[in-house]
Amino acid sequence: MRRVLWWGRFAPEYSRNRILRQLLTRAGWTIEDFQPGLSRTGDLQAWAVRLKRPDLLWVPCFRQRDLAAAVRWGRRNNTPVVFDPLISAYDKQVFERKKFSAESRKAKKLLQWERGLFAAADLVIADTWEHARFFSERLGVACEQVAVVPVGAEENLFCPAEGPVETAAVPRILFYGSFLALQGPETIVRAARLYQGPPVIWQMIGEGPLLARCRQQAAGLENVEFQNWMPYADLPERIQSADILLGVFGTSEKAGRVIPNKVYQALACGKPLITRSAAAYPDTFHNNHHLGIGWVEPGNPQQLGDKVAELIAARASLPAIGRLARQTYESHFSMTSIFARLSSALDPLLH
């Protein structure tokens, strides 16, 4: 039985980690966790507690700070190191948050630091094809050192409803998220204000930096409802009862590189989805109108409102569109397809 050491100060409950850990467990792997007290000296702690050498060392998403120590320990134990960053710290600070310009000294220092980290891993996992390209072009990772493994959804939770779903008299258009600029929640509020079509309710669930601004922009709109976060286990039922799910609509470069959790979850539940067009999706998705996905331009509220009106005007066809969405999930993002990609990426490290 193979053993993987999950290294770092990570969140086991985060969906990306849970999905990959489930897949490895199903494949017969034993997973052991090591969360060092200090990231930068994790290798010294690992030696002190005499960690047993695993077959694979995995540094999970967002844990750049743990990678250097993990690599040092892995090298001394002849253990391959896999890094699944999910995001680039340089990308986040420079292009998403715009904390400093790409030409600044701080940005160049951050880029140099992250390039060194990514190069040290034996394999870097990217969640989308665009992230893989970014890791290669901006962070200098060799193409053969990067593998794409989509995030997917937790299929024990996110799946089509069993039996008929009671739909509301007034159609529900559902967005849920952390109200970040990447998600474009303000575009959704503007779309609700511009909307001209059959009556609908735009439901916005979650909390985050742009929530207060969205509430202000929605003042006087009776067709927009806000709700705080619900328990994660209740989310699938809310998705299943909505008529249309909304993805993300941000205009940043980062927004074009990601496929967010909500997209995978909507498709897994077999619900019609509207989201921004992006190069992050497989090439076969572009200009394909048989995926259960309605594409709109980033940051375009008029187009979003028009797409919602178009779908709601033919509400009876939404279940058929939802079945296409589920087919898209099964073909490209299911646990089975993700595991095939993961296995293909890991095999060269294990032989």
Are 84 and 190 within one domain? no
- Residue 295 domain-assigned (yes or no): yes
Instruction: Assign 3-class secondary structure to the chain.
Output: CCEEEEECCCCCCCHHHHHHHHHHHHCCCEEEEECCCCHHHHHHHHHHCCCCCCCEEEECCCCHHHHHHHHHHHHHCCCCEEECCCCCHHHHHHHHCCCCCCCCHHHHHHHHHHHHHHHHCCEEEECCHHHHHHHHHCCCCCHHHEEECCCCCCCCCCCCCCCCCCCCCCCEEEEEECCCHHHCHHHHHHHHHHCCCCCCEEEEEECCCCHHHHHHHCCCCCCEEEECCCCHHHHHHHHHHCCEEECCCCCCCHHHCCCCHHHHHHHHCCCCEEEECCCCCCHHHCCCCCCCEEEECCCCHHHHHHHHHHHHHCHHHHHHHHHHHHHHHHHHCCHHHHHHHHHHHHHHHHC
- CATH classification at residue 179: 3.40.50.2000
Q: Encode pLDDT of 45-55 as tens digits.
A: 999 999 999 99
346 and 270 within one domain: no
Task: Report how many domains make up the chain.
Answer: 2
- 342 & 321 share domain: no
Q: Are residues 326 and 344 in the same domain?
A: no
pLDDT digits (tens, 9 = 90+) for 274-321: 999 999 999 888 878 889 999 999 999 999 999 999 999 999 999 999
Q: Are residues 189 and 328 in the same domain?
A: yes
In this structure, is residue 159 part of a structural domain? no
Average pLDDT estimate for 203-223: 97
Assess if residue 161 is contained within a domain.
no
Residues 138 and 252 in one domain: no
* Same-domain pairing of 120 and 236: no
* Average pLDDT, integer, range 335-339: 94
- Which pLDDT value is given to residue 115? 97
Q: What is the pTM of this model?
A: 0.93
Stretch 116-126: mean pLDDT, rounded? 97
| Domain match, 26 and 120 both | yes
The answer to whether residue 70 is domain-embedded is yes
Does residue 268 surpass a pLDDT of 80?
yes
Instruction: Provide mean pLDDT across the span 230-242.
Output: 95
**Same domain flag for 189 and 83:** no
* Structural domain boundaries enclosing 42: 3-152+334-350
Q: Is the residue at 271 inside a domain?
A: yes
pLDDT, residue 1, reads 84
**Domain-located, residue 166:** no
What rounded mean pLDDT belongs to the chain? 95
Same domain (yes/no): 144, 216 = no
**Same-domain status, 182 and 263:** yes
* 51 and 176 assigned to the same domain: no
Q: What is the pLDDT of residues 131-188, one digit of tens each?
A: 999 999 999 999 999 999 999 999 999 999 987 777 788 999 999 999 999 999 999 9
Q: Is residue 162 part of a domain?
A: no
Does 167 map to a domain? no
- Residues 8-46 pLDDT 10s: 999 988 999 999 999 999 999 999 999 999 999 999 999
